[in-house]
Structure 1
Amino acid sequence: MVSDGPLRPSPLVEQAAERLRARIADGVWPVGTRLPGETTLAKDLGVGRSTVREALRALTGAGMVRPRQGAGVFVTAARPVEDFPTRLRRAALVDVYEVRTLLETQAARLAAERRTDDDVRAMTAALDARRAAADGPGDAFVDADIALHAAVVAAAHNPVLTDLFAEFTPALREALIDLLDLVDVRHAERDHGDAAHAAIVAAVVAGAPDAAERAARDELLAIQGKLTGQG
């Protein structure tokens, strides 16, 4: 329940924003309704209008309210809206991998259709770097693995796919490092997954979209299987 006691003498803007957030979350002001004016809110909270204005600015940044010119401030969400990287960090590892599989299988297919000589050199170098990192520290191996997948995505020459993969990278890196602790993939697979990754690169280089898509799907689904205990 919302507390309506007096605000404490600490940062008033933060307290005012939190009080307004709580009231919106509790349904005092449902999504779509207009908030009371600044003067009314200031009197209600026991603060100045400038404090209310800053608190509303904070709620706007959180995606909970939106000012409309000449109409007032309206509620747009009952909870703060998290940005995509934040949501990825909070997501379950299996969920991240499901979306990653959807993204990268199509990226591999497009890469097989669009790769250039520069892309081929980049993927080959990344595959060699992954092999070199296979017996090194776990975080270095994960970085090399991600770099190889990023090279394949880049070869698709779709800036939206490239940006999506870049958004995934921080959460993906953390998830893969956790996965190495959870399931010792490198020791469970004698070649550290080299054959599966080499198959992806070979299919892309050969310009074989079906084979590239299949190789990417097989490699990523194998990891999903380990996450769910089915691999």
Structure 2
Amino acid sequence: MPLASTRRSGLVDQVIGQLTEAIRTGEWPVGERIPTEPELVAELEVGRNTVREAVRALAHGGLLEVRQGDGTYVRATSEVSGAVRKMCGTELREVLQVRKPLEAEGARLAATQRTDADVRELTRLLGERDDAWLAKDYETYVRVDADFHLAVVEASHNTLLAELYRGLTEVVTASVAATTRTEPAETESIGHHDLLAAIIDGDADRAAAEACGFLDELLARGSEEYD
């Protein structure tokens, strides 16, 4: 990573903190296997039981998944996200239904609370999203589309709302991927320019309606399960 060696007090909590930070910052991306137990013991300079207890705690919280005979993998970036993944499972319709009220309120607040910096970031992301679609770079498109929706909610400057939505990061990205994966070259990208325009204009009701509109469109297309 490298991980910093720990002090001798509260070792388990310290190890949990360091492992969580590696996950949160993306140093250990979702879906990837983390270092083996012996590697963590050597890097952290702690006992095997300490590492094992820390990993067990993070697995219980939904951040890690222990696969017997294979290793330990990153499952989510936060306990909120881990819990959401457990509750929603792989049902796309449920994810879209949960996204709808959060994104609608985020867009409504963003229309009145956004800053010039927020507008610049939203404009940049939307441009990058459109470029990725035209280039048929669907992997980048999915990532940037999810980033755009998060940026809209963050522009609300409601700390709790943004934190709740950040907990949905993995399932939001998966839902974008699921609604993009079916022969994307034969479909049109759902545009978000009207949503951005409403936020720039400070029209809260229109922004909320635009946020609901594209999710209603996705739901109308019929939801499938994603992996």
Q: Identify the TM-score tier after normalising by the shorter chain.
A: 0.5 to 0.7
For residues 108 and 173 of structure 1, what CA distance do their matches in structure 2 show? 18
> How far apart are the structure 2 equivalents of 1:148 and 1:215?
14
1:1-231 → structure 2 map (5 Å cutoff):
83-87=82-86, 90-135=89-134, 136-181=136-181, 183-185=182-184, 187-189=186-188, 192-194=189-191, 197-228=192-223
Report how far residue 179 of structure 1 moved: 2.6
For the 8 Å contact 1:127–1:148, the answer to whether it is kept is yes
1:225 is displaced (CA, Å) by 1.0
RMSD: 2.7
Q: Which runs of 5+ in 2 are unaligned?
A: 1-55, 62-80
Q: Does the C-alpha gap of structure 1 residues 88 and 199 become closer, same or farther in structure 2, counting only changes over 3 Å?
A: farther
Q: Using a 3 Å threshold, how does the CA distance of structure 1 residues 110 and 90 change in structure 2: closer, same or farther?
A: same
Contact preservation (8 Å) 1:111, 1:204: yes
| Long gaps (5+) in structure 1 | 1-57, 64-81
For residue 227 of structure 1, report the CA deviation from its aligned partner.
2.4
After superposition, give the CA deviation of every residue in 1:172-213 in whole Å (9 maximum; x if it has no partner). Answer: 2123223322x3355322xx222xx00000000100001101
Cα offset, 1:144, TM superposition:
1.2
How far the C-alpha of 1:119 sits from its partner, in A, is: 0.8
* 1:105-164, Cα deviation, whole Å (9 max, x unpaired): 010000001011111111111111111111332221101111111111111001112112
Q: TM-score, normalised by structure 1?
A: 0.58
SS state at 1:134 partner: helix
Structure possessing the higher radius of gyration over alpha carbons: 1
Is the contact made by 2:194 and 2:210 (CA closer than 8 Å) also made in structure 1? yes
Give the share of equivalent positions with the same residue, in percent: 29
Q: How many residues align?
A: 150
Separation of aligned partners in 1, 2:88 and 2:204: 31
